[in-house]
Amino acid sequence: MGRLCRRRLVGRGIALAILLCCGGMVMAPAGGEEPLPSWHDSPARTAILEFVEWTTTPGSPDFLEPAARIAVFDNDGTLWPETPLPFQAQFVVDELKRLEGDHPEWKENPAITAALSGDVTGVLRSGPGQGMMLLEATHAGMTVDEFNDRVRRWLDTARHPVWKRPYSDLAYQPMLEVLDLLRDRGFTPYIVSGGGADFMRVWAEEVYGIPPSQVIGSYGKVRYELRDDRPVLVKEGGIELIDDREGKPVGIHRFIGRRPVACFGNSDGDQAMLEWTTIEHEPAFGLIVHHTDAVRESAYDADPKGTGKLVTALEAAPRRGWVVVDMARDWKVVFKPVDGAPQR
């Protein structure tokens, strides 16, 4: 439950309590099924259900018109994993391997040879210029349609090195249920990710049910031209928006044009959009997926000496009223079960 909602509950407690009791707290199952079945009964699950109930029940003091029911989700680490590499970085490595035979000049390029030898993390850390060079080698100099085909082919053939499944099978089952719940109650979910918009749009609809127009990500320059009287869009490279950290509220403004009321993230890169969603804005809801599950997934985010991905946002969470999900304790399963395989 967000800070703002909690404060409001105290203020309007009685009316709301009556309303919620009459409405059948916690949420009458729609089709006889409990919502969020992959979530343990926990404060995080209750907070999600209460927020949805309060904002979509006519007569509730927190009722929101459907047009205002905008929810934003980070992708990597929030809707699917980002270990051992963000999946788009794995796509870069796999594409470099697939294409190196056609590019003898890459042998002279230390960043590409390092990435090919497996040290893509080292390359990405060596500075934005080196990472950009890897991106341009695999994401630019082709039409949008050609790029889409490459991503599609990769998704159809690549398998995750740890979980041995197609990447598109690795969405977090509990988060898919949050998406379904929100859609059922008239919310419009958007992805707001540092990942490439063009990369995500190829699979976001089939994996999450989120259409291209609701996928906001980083993007580079694109050029329109008529080629032999056929219109094409060419990916030129460069970066026009880095949709991360302070860039996330900017992307939200640019694409959606109104403030969201619910925000789901997992790292300090999501802190600005959590702030933009929840501070002095009621009703609003913020949630952080905390990677605590070294057995079923990874525990990597909150150690400043480790990846240090989730430090300031976790520290701010109690003050801001953001819900923190403990993956190990709060989720019954992490991934969608595969037939015959043990659940994890």
Give the chain's radius of gyration (CA, Å): 21
Map the footprint of its own copies across residues 101-160, applying CB under 8 A: 144
Find the binder of its own copies among 222, 239, 242, 311 (CB under 8 A): 222
- What is the Cα–Cα distance from 108 to 222, expressed in whole angstroms? 28
Nearer to its own copies, 114 or 222 (CB): 222
User: Closest distance between its own copies and the C-beta of residue 243, in Å?
Assistant: 12
Among the candidate windows 39-47, 106-114, 228-236, 286-294, which touches its own copies by CB under 8 A? 228-236
Residue 257 half-sphere exposure toward CB, CA atoms < 13 A: 1
Q: How far apart are CA 232 and CA 251, in angstroms?
A: 25
279 near its own copies, judged by CB under 8 A:
yes
Q: Please identify, using beta-carbon distances, which residue of 244 and 301 lies nearer to its own copies.
A: 244
Interaction pattern, residues 196-215, with its own copies; x per rule: CB under 8 A: -x---x---------xxx-x
How far apart, in whole angstroms, are the C-alpha atoms of residue 85 and residue 132?
16
Strand order in the sheet with 230-241: 142-143, 230-241, 215-227, 188-196, 70-73, 262-265, 285-290, 323-326
- Residue by residue, DSSP assigns 138-151 as HHSSEEHHHHHHHH
Using CB under 8 A as the binding criterion, the count of chain residues that bind its own copies stands at: 36
Min. distance of Cβ 255 from its own copies in angstroms? 6
User: Per rule CB under 8 A, is residue 3 in the interface with its own copies?
Assistant: no
Give dist(CA 170, CA 32) in Å, integer.
27
Per CB under 8 A, 287 contacts its own copies: no
Give the helix ranges, DSSP H, for the chain: 3-11, 13-23, 43-56, 87-99, 110-116, 120-125, 128-139, 144-157, 173-184, 197-201, 204-208, 247-255, 271-278, 312-320, 327-330
151 touches 94 (CB < 8 A): no
* CB nearer its own copies, residue 159 or residue 223: 223
Question: Residues 6, 40, 107, 258: which binds its own copies (CB under 8 A)?
Answer: 258
Of residues 164 and 319, the one with the C-beta less far from its own copies = 319
Q: How far is CA 170 from CA 81, 143, 174, in A?
A: 7, 28, 12
In whole angstroms, how close is the CB of 88 to its own copies at the nearest point?
Answer: 17
Q: Does 227 bind its own copies (CB under 8 A)?
A: no
329 binds its own copies (CB under 8 A): no
> Does residue 312 belong to the site contacting its own copies (CB under 8 A)?
no
What is the footprint of its own copies within residues 61-80 (CB under 8 A)? 67
Q: How far is CA 268 from the centre of its chain?
A: 13
Q: Among 108, 280, 339, 341, which residue sits at the site for its own copies (rule: CB under 8 A)?
A: 280
Kind and range of the H or E element at 306? none
Residues at the interface with its own copies (CB under 8 A) = 67, 144, 197, 201, 211-213, 215, 219, 222-226, 229-231, 233, 240-241, 246-250, 253-258, 272, 275-276, 279-280
